[in-house]
Amino acid sequence: MGKNKLKKFADMASYDHVFEADFEQLSQGEFAQRGRWSEWFGNDNPIVVELGCGRGEYTVGLARRNPDKNYIGVDIKGARMHAGATEAANEGLKNVAFLRTRIEFIERFFASGEVSEIWVTFPDPQMRKPRKRLVGTLMLSRYRNFLRPDGPVHLKTDSPFLFEYSQHMMAANAITAQALNADLYAQGVPDPALGIRTYYEQKWIDAGMTIKYVRFLIPQDVDLVEPDVEIERDNYHNVGRNVVIRSDK
């Protein structure tokens, strides 16, 4: 491991707004912060979670714009998360925290009704693995264990595959989209929160890709079903280390 990465992990370990628990720790007992996030933030403001936060740019951007809400960015890549965690610390943002864990464990970190909104920003579309899709029915079933019934899920993506999948998933489960936009920036952005652009999002826009947005509520007390459809896959490929480009072509 390089010295730079070691320094990042050392920094992360010293930040009081960064939390971490691996599978072994979770299996030995309940995560201590579960059900007590408001105590840590020191207020009863709504708690918003960003899943797959990467460098934390969106989490920090949302926190800057909405001081009346508390934001928690979740990702497994601590070295990436370091950027947002350090930025939040340097700016003295008190409504930001980060959680380093695998998203499949996410329901172990929050109590029922503790989270008011979920953001999923530019996730891997997982075209071959429906069970790993962050807006797939397996993950949605987990989210509703801690998301308020009136709490929306926001999906922002550049993937035509994932955008189409989300529409089939909603249709299969009688979900009505609260918002559905195939080209978010075509006619201006009505909500400033949607206009936050991460480094890689800007790269994708510059490459000519359209950004898509969906917002919906997860149905309660029903078994969610996967849509039985074939969806054309994206041209999804790596163009460099830690850089992914997807094409609408």
Just list the catalytic residues: 124
Q: In one letter, which amino acid is 148?
A: R
Q: By the 8 A CB rule, do 125 and 236 touch?
A: yes
Determine the Cα–Cα distance for residues 238 and 244; give it in Å rounded to an integer: 5
Cα–Cα separations (whole angstroms), residue 149 to 1, 146, 171? 43, 9, 19
Determine the Cα–Cα distance for residues 112 and 90; give it in Å rounded to an integer: 32
Q: Which two tokens stand for residue 137?
A: 């029915």
- Give the 3-state secondary structure of residue 136: coil
Q: In one letter, which amino acid is 27?
A: S
